[in-house]
């Protein structure tokens, strides 16, 4: 690993973000948000709906079509006191499927499933009450949902769920769960978040956080992109709760990146090759997905029969290797792999961390929001703009841009 990368100090990626700068709610019209334009070091601004005017005709743009699930579930322990007492409230936050581990199969389950979860108020869920229960009204029926605490799994717990009534897990979550808005909004989720915290093109259930750069797009903007000759493709990265986890180590080498599931269609990889292995990425999740593709292709060049698990991109892979392969060549190795195994979709996972010193291979323009101080997302942006992130953030702060998930966005052209 390059020593310079290993010793990046997270305190060098800080700025003052006051609470009033954080957008607590989105604008009524998604595409009326502001757009900062950073182009070769120069900064301007416009309204987001004019984004297509700044993109070259014939370019390719990738979007993350993941859909946020209602991942917060609440259970109340049986009260220990008399009839007027209430039991402790336990929150179970779904992180990733345990059994079945496939997302699509998971949401079709009709009686039981297991997830790795964060548990709020865990100390009150004592061993004398291994199972918690709650009831949900659905279509005139009362469904009982039970949660049994399983073993520790890293920083989470395995939780085994079971329910009656024959409804699917997807339907049950829609009825019983809450949308998991980011903790930095410092407010309870509202019914409106069920719509506003999803992109208009969200399709594949699995995220516990929205790919927020996509929240600015409307059907009008998407039509305008088409009219400007922009080739639109979708991929899937299910965003994990780790996206909100601050870097607590002094140096970036002490931070463990979370693992996220990715799925990319064969046709998208063919399009990437047709576009010379270059794309405009909407959001940091799309960035991490397509940049991971490069290292997956490099791995397949020497391990052509790798399994899904073996193709996983480790956190430090980009810094421990120095491949000279072009992005097109790398993508062709993925196509060869899909052909050999008669697959239409590449499925694997990534733990990639993109920090200053990273060489971008596929992304050449980026649409992204304004990120938290001392976050891995800010490091990713800094790497993209060759360290010039302070220029961008000073402008955004001095011109009253709105920050974080429901805030304004930027188009970055290094």
**Rounded Cα distance, 319 and 358, in Å:** 7
The predicted pLDDT at position 183 comes to 86
* 81 & 223 share domain: no
Residue 264 is assigned to a structural domain of this protein: yes
The predicted pLDDT at position 321 comes to 86
| Domain endpoint, select from 177, 211, 237 | 177
Residue 100: asked if its preceding bond is cis (omega within 30°), the reply is: yes
Residue 345 is assigned to a structural domain of this protein: yes
In contact, 237 and 289? CB cutoff 8 Å: yes
* 206 & 340 share domain: yes
* 143 & 255 share domain: no
CATH number of the structural domain spanning residue 339: 3.40.1780.10
* 283 & 374 share domain: yes
H helices, E strands: number in the chain: 11, 17
* 406 & 321 share domain: yes
The predicted pLDDT at position 250 comes to 93
| Domain endpoint, select from 151, 177, 203 | 177
Q: Enumerate residue ranges in the chain where pLDDT < 70.
A: 1-3, 79-86, 244
What is the pTM for the complete model shown? 0.92
The predicted pLDDT at position 124 comes to 86
Candidates 408, 399, 385, 397; CA nearest to 42 is 385
Side by side, which strands form the sheet with 409-413?
42-47, 34-39, 409-413, 363-369, 279-282, 60-64, 231-237, 260-265, 345-350
* 230 & 368 share domain: yes
Residue 187 is assigned to a structural domain of this protein: no
The predicted pLDDT at position 86 comes to 62
* 150 & 25 share domain: no
Residue 189 is assigned to a structural domain of this protein: no
Q: What is the DSSP letter of 267?
A: H
* 51 & 126 share domain: no
Convert 44-56 to b/e letters by CB count within 10 Å (16 or more is b).
ebeebbebbebbe
Candidates 378, 155, 154, 355; CA nearest to 252 is 355
pLDDT in tens, 127-159: 777 899 999 999 889 999 999 999 998 888 999
The predicted pLDDT at position 79 comes to 64
The predicted pLDDT at position 3 comes to 65
The predicted pLDDT at position 397 comes to 98
Quick one: how far is CA 157 from the chain centroid?
21
The predicted pLDDT at position 277 comes to 98
Domain hosting 60: range is 3-68+194-413
* 198 & 171 share domain: no
């Amino acid at each position: 690993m390059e020593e310079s990368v290993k010793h990046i100090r997270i305190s060098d990626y800080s700025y003052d973000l006051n609470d009033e700068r954080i957008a607590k709610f989105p604008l009524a019209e998604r595409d009326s948000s502001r757009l900062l334009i950073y182009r070769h070091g120069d900064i301007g601004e416009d309204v987001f709906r004019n984004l297509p005017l700044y993109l070259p005709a014939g370019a390719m743009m990738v979007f993350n079509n993941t859909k946020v699930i209602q991942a917060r579930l609440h259970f109340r322990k049986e009260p220990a006191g008399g009839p007027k007492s209430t039991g402790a409230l336990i929150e179970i936050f779904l992180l990733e499927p345990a059994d079945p581990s496939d997302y699509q199969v998971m949401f079709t389950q009709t009686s039981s499933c297991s997830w790795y979860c964060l548990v709020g108020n865990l100390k009150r869920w004592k061993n004398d009450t291994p199972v918690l229960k709650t009831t949900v009204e659905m279509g005139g029926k009362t469904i009982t949902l039970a949660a049994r605490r399983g073993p520790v799994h890293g920083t989470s717990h395995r939780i085994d769920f079971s329910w009656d009534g024959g409804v699917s897990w997807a339907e049950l979550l829609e009825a019983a769960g809450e949308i998991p808005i980011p903790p930095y909004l410092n407010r309870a989720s509202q019914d409106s978040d069920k719509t506003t915290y999803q992109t208009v093109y969200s399709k594949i259930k699995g995220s516990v956080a929205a790919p927020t750069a996509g929240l600015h797009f409307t059907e009008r903007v998407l039509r305008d992109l088409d009219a400007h000759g922009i080739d639109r493709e979708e991929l899937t990265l299910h965003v994990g709760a780790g996206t909100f986890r601050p870097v607590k180590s002094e140096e970036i080498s002490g931070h463990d990146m979370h693992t996220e599931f990715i799925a990319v269609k064969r046709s998208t990889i063919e399009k990437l090759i047709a576009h010379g292995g270059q794309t405009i990425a909407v959001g940091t999740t799309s960035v991490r997905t397509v940049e991971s593709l490069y290292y997956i292709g490099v791995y397949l060049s020497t391990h052509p029969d790798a399994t899904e698990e073996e193709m996983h991109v480790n956190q430090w892979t980009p810094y421990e290797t120095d491949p000279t392969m072009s992005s097109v060549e790398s993508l062709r190795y993925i196509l060869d792999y899909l052909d050999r195994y008669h697959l239409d979709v590449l499925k694997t996972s990534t733990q990639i961390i993109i920090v200053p010193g990273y060489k971008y291979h596929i992304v050449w323009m980026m649409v992204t929001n304004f990120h938290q101080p001392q976050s891995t997302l800010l490091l990713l942006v800094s790497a993209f703009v060759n360290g010039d992130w302070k220029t961008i953030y000073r402008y955004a702060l001095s011109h009253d841009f709105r920050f974080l998930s429901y805030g304004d966005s930027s188009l970055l052209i290094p």
